[in-house]
Structures are given as C-alpha cells and as structure tokens.
Structure 1
C-alpha cells in the first residue's frame, strides 16, 4: 500500500496533467468536420510511419509476383 505522502503527490501530478490537457483542448480551434479533426492526428507517430512502410513493402511485393 502506498503511504499518504506518495499518494498525495501522485494525485497532484494527475491533477496537473488533467489541467494541462483541459487547457490544451480549450485553446484548440474546433472543426465541425470529423475528417479535418482526424487528418494528421497520428502522422508524426513512429508506429504510423512504420505501418506505412509495411504497407508499401506489401504492395510492392504483391506487384513483383
């Protein structure tokens, strides 16, 4: 079981993170088009780039057969 001081510190950390997220989304311009919200949302993620490379390799391998 966590001691009280550790638990309180973790709670402070979570509250700060929630507050930061709320401010981030409050200041973000809203778009009515769901596609505009989605476009580019994960394009800078390494896993997304890796998936694109696998897709390209798969399509190229399929063309060579």
Structure 2
C-alpha cells in the first residue's frame, strides 16, 4: 500500500497540474471561425506538398486503366 504522505503529495501535485491546464485552456481565446484554427497549422510547406502528392497518387491508383492509354 502507498504511504499516506506520499499519496497526499502526489494528489497535491496532480491537482496543481489540472489547475494549470484548466487555466491555460480557459485563458486561450477561441476563434469564431473554424478556419482560423487551421491557419498556420501546416508550418512546413514541403511536408504539405508531399502529403498532397501522396493523396493524388492514392486517388490515381484507384482509377481504372483504359486500353487507349496503353
């Protein structure tokens, strides 16, 4: 069994962390427009372009091959 003093100390630490997280979350203004949440979320353009290319390749792989294209 855990020592009561240790348990109390851990509980106090946990309560402080929860308080800090709640304060951080509540003090952050939430934008009205959902798009404002996404702006700036892709900071690395090369990674974004690579992801677009993977998506394009995936969509193209699902298309049937025409005999005229061969």
> Which residue number corresponds to residue 30 of structure 1?
30
| TM-score where L is the length of structure 1 | 0.52
Q: Which runs of 5+ in 2 are unaligned?
A: 55-70
**CA distance in structure 2 between the partners assigned to 1:34 and 1:18 by the alignment:** 26
**1:22-50 CA distances to partner (integer Å, 9 max, x unpaired)?**
1101110112344543563xx6xxxxx9x
Bigger radius of gyration = 2
| TM-score where L is the length of structure 2 | 0.49
**CA distance in structure 1 between the partners assigned to 2:10 and 2:35 by the alignment:** 36
Q: Over aligned residues, Cα RMSD in angstroms? A: 2.8
